[in-house]
Chain A
Amino acid sequence: MDFINIHLPVAGIEFSAVLLVLIGFCVGVLGGFFGVGGGWMITPALNIFGFHMAFAIGTPLANIFGQSIGAVRKHNRMGNIDWKLGLISIITSVIGVEIGSRVILAMEQAGDVGVIVRWCYFFLLAFLGAYMMYDYFVVHPRVMKLMDEQASNSSGGNGSAVPKLSDKLHKLNIPPMISFPASGIDGVSLWILLLVFLLTGFLSGFMGVGGGFVILPVLVYLIGLPTTIAVGTSLVTVLFTAAYGCFTYSLKGRVEMVAAVIMLAGASIGAQIGATAVKYIKGYGIRLLFAVMIIFAGFSVLTEQFYKATGKPLFQTFAGIVLMGTAIAMSSLIIGKLVIEERNNRRMGR
């Protein structure tokens, strides 16, 4: 079956237009909903389905840039963006990315670092996924139980007896302290912010990924942002880094423009739907879905590692199917939840 194969002039290959739109749509939904770019999904998917690796890295950045514009606009309208924090994140992350990429270039001179990077990537995804799962299934019920107890004792508590990592960081009084009223943060040391964003930037540069999937948990767990504001603020960082990446990778001739435009047709629609869905799903629901998604992403990285070790293309194909399967299932789940919640709202006359 040929699913409307088209010729891509820059990459010099025939590719299914339907698959491009589908990849774009799924990444758009996930990007708008989670505040990530989705390069971690598009790059391996395009490469596995026949793109040269150089184009598989560059082309997604152009697509992510285009899709993020509408999603940022929509999140801004919902009050989900802390522009002040976003600006600090962008500036500091860029420095971190530069340091990370220089470290990886220095390591490359000593030999093939692909194996090390993939293992780091896998353990990071597994750790973040496991931590978010632990938070959802262990910490969150404990906090809720405590809040119920405090409410029944009429003590007016808010569950603050369960210390959060972000609360501990906020207590570190190292001047200058900055407040973020849009996020409900009274004061956090600028040095803590610089250190955290430098680290996320470093990880992005070291592993060659956009970093949205690292920024979201960092904003939630270390900085203490409400999940929806973390999603919107993360998207701002993604938008600016993708814009820069789109231009520089195009300059190096690594962006397949026709493919990026076709993907954008699906991605723009998907990103709007994904951003709208944030309105209907509670913060902890977003965190759980995000945790499931990055655990599957980690599994696909592990499968890719097996491919590199054994040289059997079956593993690579399997990794691609796992990624695409996860993206399709997750996007369907988000759209399904959006439809059900909207339907319930209408029934209740809201």
Chain B
Amino acid sequence: MSLKRILSTALLSIVLVCTIPVVDQAARTAIASEKQETALSMTIDTKKLSGINLVIARMYNEDRVLYAAMVTIVMAVLGTVLAFLTDLVLKALGLEVSRISHRE
């Protein structure tokens, strides 16, 4: 019973802490929401950019096919690697999965 209480308190705390950035961003957006949504520019101004942001912006401006291929490949590779790493952590915590019975 006490474990449940600890867990529910912890969960409530997580929910409350997680809500802070949401409310913060919502408040700032609400303040700025009076201005109309501007027309979408399909070219990025690279003057103020540097590093990886500059590389991405140049690719976006100059070769859209390459940009699309890069986004797709990066998401696939990163998704696989992160899933693999998370799986290792979950296994270490004893949360390994195997074939389950499909009970309703």
Q: Which residues of A contact B (CB under 8 A)?
A: 1, 3, 7, 9-10, 12, 15-16, 18-19, 22, 48-50, 52-54, 62-63, 65-71, 73-74, 77-80, 184, 226-229, 243, 246-248, 250-253, 255, 257-258, 260-261, 264-265, 268-269, 271-273, 275-276, 278-279, 282-284, 313-314, 316-317, 320-321, 324-325, 328-329, 332-333, 335-336, 338-340, 342-343, 346
Contact = CB atoms under 8 A, between A and B. Distances in A.
Contacts of A68: 79
A272 B33 contact: no
A253 B66 CA distance: 11
Contact of B79 (A67, A229, A248): A67
Contacts of A19: 21-22, 25
B83 A69 contact: yes
Contact of B72 (A226, A243, A313): A243
Interface residues on B, range: 35 or more
B87 A70 contact: yes
B100 to A, nearest CB: 5
Nearest to A321: B26
Contact of B75 (A66, A321, A332): A66
Question: Which 5 pairs between the two chains have the least Cβ-Cβ distance?
Answer: A70-B83, A66-B79, A268-B82, A250-B68, A226-B102
A279 B71 contact: no
Interface centre among B42, B79, B102 (most CB of A within 10 A): B79
Contacts of A316: 33
Given A10-B60, A279-B100, A16 B25 contact: yes
A9 B14 contact: no
B3 to A, nearest CB: 7
B92 interface: no
B56 to A, nearest CB: 6
Nearest to A254: B40
B99 A78 contact: yes
Given A74-B87, A226-B102, A65 B75 contact: yes
A272 B21 contact: no
18 contacts: A1-B21, A7-B53, A16-B21, A19-B22, A49-B25, A70-B82, A70-B86, A78-B100, A246-B72, A250-B68, A250-B71, A252-B64, A253-B67, A261-B75, A268-B78, A268-B82, A268-B83, A335-B11
Contact of B65 (A79, A251, A332): A251
Interface string B10-50: 01001100111111111001101110011011101100010
